[in-house]
Amino acid sequence: MAQAVLRIGVVGGSVAGCAMAIAGARAGAQVTVHERSDGALEDRGFGIVIPPALHRELVAAGYLDAGMPTAPVPSRVWLTRQSGHSTARELACQEGAVTACHWGLLWRTLHANAGRAVRYHRGRPVTEVRRHPSGGAVIRTADSEQVYDIVVGADGPRSVTRESVAPGVRPVPAGYAVWRGTLPLTALAARPHLLDLLRSAWITLGYPGGHGVFYLIPGAAPGSRLLAYAIYGSPPPASWTAGREAYVRRIAEERFPADWAGLVGRGEHTSMAYHPVTDFHAPQVADPPFLLAGDAASITRPHTASGATKALQDALCLERVLRGAPSPADALRAYAAERSPEGARLVALGRRLGRAMVERTPDWTAMGAAEVAAWSRATLDGADSYLYGAAHE
- The candidate with the shortest Cα–Cα distance to 61, out of 393, 342, 326, 317, is 317
Whether the ω angle into residue 173 lies within 30 degrees of 0, i.e. cis, is: no
* pLDDT over 60 at 193, yes or no: yes
Task: Give the span between the Cα atoms of 54 and 84, in whole angstroms.
Answer: 42
Nearest to 308 by CA among 110, 88, 126: 110
What does DSSP assign to residue 391?
Answer: B
pLDDT tens digit string along 271-317? Answer: 899 999 999 999 999 999 999 999 999 999 999 999 999 999 999 99
Residue 384 predicted with pLDDT over 80: yes
Q: Which residues contact residue 379 at a Cβ distance below 8 angstroms, ignoring those fewer than 6 apart?
A: 352, 353, 356, 357
Q: What residues pair up with 281 in beta bridges, in sequence order?
A: 298
pLDDT at 265 over 50: yes
One-letter identity of residue 166: A
CA dihedral 71, 77, 78, 81 (to 10 degrees): -90
- Kindly list the structural domains of the chain, giving each domain's residue range(s) and its CATH number in brackets, ordered by start: 3-44+104-171+280-351 (3.50.50.60), 71-103+174-277+357-380 (3.30.9.60)
Q: In the chain, where do the E strands start and end?
A: 7-11, 30-34, 47-50, 71-81, 88-102, 119-121, 126-131, 137-141, 145-148, 150-153, 172-184, 201-207, 210-218, 225-233, 271-281, 286-287, 290-292, 298-299
pLDDT on residue 55: 98
pLDDT of 2: 41
Compute the Cα dihedral for 84, 88, 92, 98 and give only its sign: positive
What are the C-alpha distances in Å from 103 to residues 11, 19, 38, 154, 226? 19, 13, 18, 16, 12
Please report, as a single letter, which amino acid is at residue 329: A
d(CA 227, CA 217): 6
The percent of residues in the chain predicted with pLDDT above 90, rounded, is 88
d(CA 16, CA 123): 17
pLDDT-derived band at 3 (thresholds 50, 70, 90) equals very low
Q: Name the average pLDDT for the chain.
A: 94
Q: From CA 102, how far away is CA 47, in angstroms rounded?
A: 5
103-138 burial, b at 16+ Cβ within 10 Å, e below that, comes to: bbbbbbbbbebbeeebebeeebebeebeeeeeebbb
Say which range, 35-39, 251-255, 284-288, has the weakest mean pLDDT: 35-39
- Whether residue 196 is predicted with pLDDT greater than 70 in this model: the reply is yes
Output Rg (C-alpha) for the chain, integer angstroms.
22
pLDDT in tens, 153-175: 999 999 999 999 999 999 999 99
How many whole angstroms separate alpha carbon 336 and alpha carbon 247? Answer: 41
Is the pLDDT at 237 greater than 90? The verdict is yes
Euclidean distance between CA atoms 169 and 298, whole angstroms: 10
Give the predicted TM-score (pTM) of the model: 0.94
With beta carbons less than 8 A apart as the criterion, state whether 129 and 164 touch: yes
Is the alpha carbon torsion for 227, 388, 234, 257 positive or negative? negative
